[in-house]
Structure 1
Amino acid sequence: MMDWENYRNELMGRIGDLGKLSPDTVGGYMMASKAGSKTNNLDEKTRQLISMAVAVTTRCDGCITVHAEAAVKAGANEAEIAEALGVAVAMNAGAALVYSARALDAVKSVTK
């Protein structure tokens, strides 16, 4: 298994390097990332649970490690995280189902 803590620390260092080279890129990301917390319609734990699910669906290890730490710090427990990840699994399966229908439609278009 991956050493997530070491990976997260190394990643943050590299993002810091990118921020020095292109501050507007990292600053723009940070602004977008913090936008939701300003409205407070969702609490931090809920935002982090959503972030974990999205991190899985987008297959982003960096997002997984950052939001895993943030979710736990926001009070999420393993059962809550597992439920959020279950939503990610269902969404990926749902997307595969939808695209399977599209694929069959494409096959039908060439077999007419």
Structure 2
Amino acid sequence: MAATDWTSFTDQTNARMAELRKALPEQSKAFGQLAQAAIAPGVLDSKTKELIALAIGIAARCDGCLAFHAKAARKHGATREEIVETIGVAVYMGGGPSMIYGAEALDAFDATA
């Protein structure tokens, strides 16, 4: 199996999401507002919230979540070491499948460098 080209994957997913946003404008607007509110700094900073989202993406086995939240975590200042510790928590909570998706998440994070 070839390595994932996370940039192409993200571009393709963005294009598909744009089509869905056209088809579901009200729901998409509401979801976008929810995402902004959820990641906005509060008691937890945005980086921590993105690390949580990444861990959930790993446990839920969501490829798109890995791509988007690894990139967002980097944007908010996450280090590779923080990503690795986040993967460790996801593996603890999700077992073997999270180990596999954790490796994918680390690859997605490394690809955003």
Is 1:23 the counterpart of 2:25 in the alignment?
Answer: yes
How many residue pairs get matched?
Answer: 93
2:10–2:64 Cα contact (<8 Å) kept: yes
Runs of 4+ displaced beyond 4 Å = none
Q: Does 1 or 2 have the higher relative contact order (CA < 8 Å, sep 6+)?
A: 2
Structure 1 counterpart of 2:110 = none
Q: Compute the displacement of 1:39 (Å).
A: 6.0
Match of 1:89 among 88, 91, 99: 91
Q: Give the Cα–Cα distance (whole angstroms) in 1 for the partners of residues 39 and 61 of structure 2.
A: 24
Q: How high is the sequence identity, in percent, across the aligned residues?
A: 37
Runs of 5+ consecutive residues of structure 1 not aligned to the other structure: 94-112
Q: Is the 8 A contact 2:55 2:87 kept in 1?
A: yes
**Take 2:42 and 2:28, find their aligned partners in 1: how far apart are those partners?**
23
Over the aligned positions, Cα root-mean-square deviation in angstroms equals 1.3
Instruction: Find the partner of 1:44 among 43, 46, 60.
Output: 46
Q: CA 1:70/1:5 → structure 2, altered by over 3 Å: closer, same or farther?
A: same
In 1, Cα distance between the equivalents of 2:39 and 2:67? 20
Q: Please, what TM-score do these two structures have when normalized by structure 1?
A: 0.77
Question: Which of these two proteins has the greater Rg computed from alpha carbons?
Answer: 1
Q: Deviations over 1:51-94 (max 9, x none)?
A: 1100000100001000010001111011100101100000113x
- The TM-score with structure 2 as length reference comes to 0.76
Following the alignment from structure 2 to structure 1, what is the Cα–Cα distance between the partners of residues 87 and 58?
7
1:53-68 mapped onto 2 (5 Å cutoff): 53-68=55-70
Equivalent residue, structure 1, for 2:104: none
Judged with a 3 Å threshold, the aligned counterparts in structure 2 of structure 1 residues 87 and 28 are, in CA distance, closer, same or farther, namely: same
